[in-house]
Copies of this chain bind each other. A is one copy, B any other.
Amino acid sequence: MAKGNKRISIADLAAELGLAISTVSRALNNAPDVSGATKAQVWALAEKWNYQPNSLAASLRRGRSNMLGVIVPHINGAFFPAVVHGIENGASQAGLNVLICQSNEDARQEQKHVEALLKAQVDGILVSASNTTEDLAHFERIRAQGTPLVFFDRMPALPQACGVVVDDYRGAYQVMEHLIGQGCRRIAHLAGPPHLNTTAERLRAYREALLAHGLPFDEQLVVPLDNSTTDAGAAAMRRLLGLYQPPDAVFSAYDFPAGGALQLLEERGIRVPQDVALVGFSNEPFTTMVRPRLSSVDQRGVLMGEAAVQLFLQLLKRTELFSGRRIVLKPQLVVRESSVRR
């Protein structure tokens, strides 16, 4: 072992081999203008001395850090972890490290994370916007810096934003057709935030599917959720049951509130799906553990993450070509006991 405990650099290798630093550098990078013989020498010594390149220095010189910044609202539930997993798949294939940040549905934290990521010189930023994000200045700033930016799932209303989303409208529409096909005529909707593209689309599909099938759209049947917890779902369900004409089906924009609604219905002795059919959204693992099993819509998390990285890589090559480009994934309705009437 050379140099005692100190970390060794290409200068050390160069000195030992009597080569120039630049030659060692190109040898390690397998450049074409280094002979095979010297490459072999360099590689051998690097191996022997366990040389670890200082990626900070390389990044500084190159101008890029080989790091990908990711901002998610949270990593609870199953969806965002799945996306993160997909991102890591794609990133490791491309030789990129991934910096993950949680905004906790807080716009201020999101801004902070954007600043931090830009300061850390990430090569690109992948973000799913928080619930509370109204001001979009920090996203503009990313573009201004020339850093590739791609959204996933939650896309803010930016004209030329790139991103990959699931076709929420289509998924929700399938839910509605399914419920209507099961004979439900008075379908309620537990709605997410109206300013989120995802939940807005689900609501739009809810409405348009009703009208398309000659069913009335009753505003009383649309209950906004304060958050995506079981409690919020139970509260919303309680309100629906207090109606003069309660619904015979509930389509929830999220799974956990659907679970909460299920609990309340159980307490009240209302049968699911016979009295009230129930469908959620996200296909959380717990949907198969409750009784009756909860129908839901799968959002293709892993696929979404991988697609987001692909889009980023394309953006890296030719920014202008992919401006405004968005990839739309097909969701998958998973029908279970909670919505099947016999």
Q: Give A contacts to B, CB under 8 Å.
A: 5, 7, 52-57, 59-60, 65, 67, 74-76, 78, 81, 84-85, 88, 92, 97-102, 112, 116, 118-121, 145-146, 230, 256, 259, 262-263, 266, 285-286, 288-291
Q: Contact at A289–B97, with CB atoms within 8 Å?
A: no
List the 8 closest pairs (A to B, CB-CB), nearest first: A286-B286, A75-B81, A100-B100, A56-B60, A259-B289, A56-B59, A56-B121, A55-B119
Tell me which residues across on chain B come within 8 A of A67, comparing CB atoms: 120
Q: Contact at A145–B97, with CB atoms within 8 Å?
A: no
Tell me which residues across on chain B come within 8 A of A65, comparing CB atoms: 56
Smallest Cβ-Cβ distance to A121: which chain B residue = B56
Q: Contact at A121–B289, with CB atoms within 8 Å?
A: no
Q: Contact at A97–B99, with CB atoms within 8 Å?
A: yes
CB within 8 A of A291: which of B120, B230, B291?
Answer: B291
In the bound assembly, the distance between CA atoms of A53 and B52 in angstroms comes to 26
Given A53-B119, A285-B286, A289-B289: A81 and B88 interface contact (C-beta under 8 Å): no
Tell me which residues across on chain B come within 8 A of A56, comparing CB atoms: 56, 59-60, 65, 120-121
CB within 8 A of A52: which of B78, B98, B119, B288?
Answer: B119
In the bound assembly, the distance between CA atoms of A240 and B294 in angstroms comes to 28
In the bound assembly, the distance between CA atoms of A53 and B263 in angstroms comes to 53
CB within 8 A of A97: which of B76, B88, B120, B230?
Answer: B120
Q: Contact at B116–A97, with CB atoms within 8 Å?
A: yes
Q: Contact at B121–A102, with CB atoms within 8 Å?
A: no
Tell me which residues across on chain B come within 8 A of A121, comparing CB atoms: 54-56
Tell me which residues across on chain B come within 8 A of A5, comparing CB atoms: 146
Smallest Cβ-Cβ distance to A92: which chain B residue = B112
In the bound assembly, the distance between CA atoms of A32 and B263 in angstroms comes to 62
Q: Contact at B52–A60, with CB atoms within 8 Å?
A: no
Cβ distance A66 to chain B, nearest Cβ, rounded Å: 8
Smallest Cβ-Cβ distance to A144: which chain B residue = B5
In the bound assembly, the distance between CA atoms of A112 and B84 in angstroms comes to 18
Q: Contact at B145–A55, with CB atoms within 8 Å?
A: no
CB within 8 A of A76: which of B57, B78, B112?
Answer: B78
In the bound assembly, the distance between CA atoms of A124 and B153 in angstroms comes to 32
Cβ distance A74 to chain B, nearest Cβ, rounded Å: 8
In the bound assembly, the distance between CA atoms of A78 and B74 in angstroms comes to 12
Smallest Cβ-Cβ distance to A117: which chain B residue = B97
In the bound assembly, the distance between CA atoms of A39 and B130 in angstroms comes to 36
In the bound assembly, the distance between CA atoms of A55 and B286 in angstroms comes to 43
Cβ distance A71 to chain B, nearest Cβ, rounded Å: 12
Smallest Cβ-Cβ distance to A96: which chain B residue = B116
Tell me which residues across on chain B come within 8 A of A266, comparing CB atoms: 291
CB within 8 A of A145: which of B7, B76, B118, B290?
Answer: B7
Given contacts A75-B75, A286-B290, A290-B290, 16 further A-B contacts (CB under 8 A): A5-B146, A52-B119, A53-B119, A56-B56, A56-B60, A56-B65, A67-B120, A97-B116, A98-B99, A98-B100, A98-B101, A266-B291, A285-B286, A286-B286, A289-B289, A289-B290
